[in-house]
Amino acid sequence: MSTTSTDAPDLLGITLAHRMMRTDLHRLTDVAERIASGACGCTDRRAAAIAAWIGTLCDEIHHHHTSEDEIAWPVITRYASGCVDLAVLTDDHHALDPLLDEVRSAVQRLTSARTGARGPAAGELAARLARVRDEIDEHLDAEESGLFPVIERYVPAAEWKRIEEEVRRNGPGAQFVLPRMADVASPAEWAHMRAVAGPVPAVLARLMRPGHRHRERLVFA
């Protein structure tokens, strides 16, 4: 049975989560390519900041996919059985895990390399990130075009809200998530998030922004 329009789930949260992952993978690939080409340097401090950002992002992606497999997919199957094949998306999740491990290993080699001689390690990191970037883009395109309409039609809003709350409970933490979410959201989307979640997330994002901007400049400048 499909949901009514007033009971349709709000998918802005997962949409912004996808956008954050996409955005970071694209710009991390770009900065690794610039370091590899010699267009910018990579001090020990910068290498450590890049490693911290990438490590948390890889954990975020893994958590997102594990939460979909273990929390979201069973609910979607219960309400929309026969309307969608989730096996392909789950297979994508499993295929991405070793690619994330390769990124983690590559960034460790970047931090281990000598300052001023990080070009080759940065080139390897760029290649590993580009692979994950392209796989994630393809995966999310398929999920958003094929699965989102099914969720909107069949999954009750209360069930989707419960899923989001459970997923957030063990996520990467507000300090990493909220400033990035504010950055990728349009003004209308951010206003909607404030209306739905209340003022606290927006206040926290504003308080966290200076520290986030400092880390961002160190990684991406």
**151-to-32, 82, 159, 204 alpha-carbon distances in Å:** 37, 13, 10, 30
The number of beta carbons lying within 10 Å of the beta carbon of residue 219 is 20
Q: Which residues contact 113 (CB under 8 A, 6 or more apart)?
A: 47, 120, 121
The answer to whether residues 125 and 102 touch, using CB atoms and an 8 Å cutoff, is no
Q: How many residues does the chain have?
A: 221
Q: Which two tokens stand for residue 139?
A: 């995966």
CA 46 from chain centre, in angstroms, equals 21
pTM here?
0.94
The per-residue pLDDT for 4 is: 47
Q: What is the DSSP string of 52-105?
A: HHHHHHHHHHHHHHHHIIIIIHHHHHHHHTTT---HHHHHHHHHHHHHHHHHHH
**Could you give the count of Cα atoms lying within 13 Å of 83 in the half-sphere of its Cβ?**
20
Q: Which helix (H) or strand (E) holds 152?
A: helix 148-154
Please give the pLDDT value at position 25.
Answer: 98
Dist. CA 218–CA 221, nearest whole Å: 6
DSSP label of 147? I
- Phi and psi (nearest 5°) for 42? -145, 90
Is the distance from CB of 93 to CB of 64 less than 8 angstroms?
no
> Rounded to whole angstroms, how far apart are CA atoms 130 and 126?
6
CA distances, 194 to each of 2, 6, 18, 94 (Å)? 28, 19, 19, 34
Domains parsed from the chain with CATH numbers: 5-171 (1.20.120.520)
- Nearest Cα neighbor of 57 from 165, 213, 219, 221 is 219
Tokens of 55: 């490590």
pLDDT tens for the chain, 221 residues long, are: 555 445 889 999 999 999 999 999 999 999 999 999 999 999 999 999 999 999 999 999 999 999 999 999 999 999 998 888 899 999 999 999 999 999 999 999 999 999 989 999 999 999 999 999 999 999 999 999 999 999 999 999 999 999 999 998 877 889 999 999 999 999 999 999 999 989 998 999 999 999 999 999 999 98
The set of residues, in sequence order, having a beta carbon less than 8 Å from that of 79 and lying 6+ positions away, is: 1, 154, 155, 156, 159
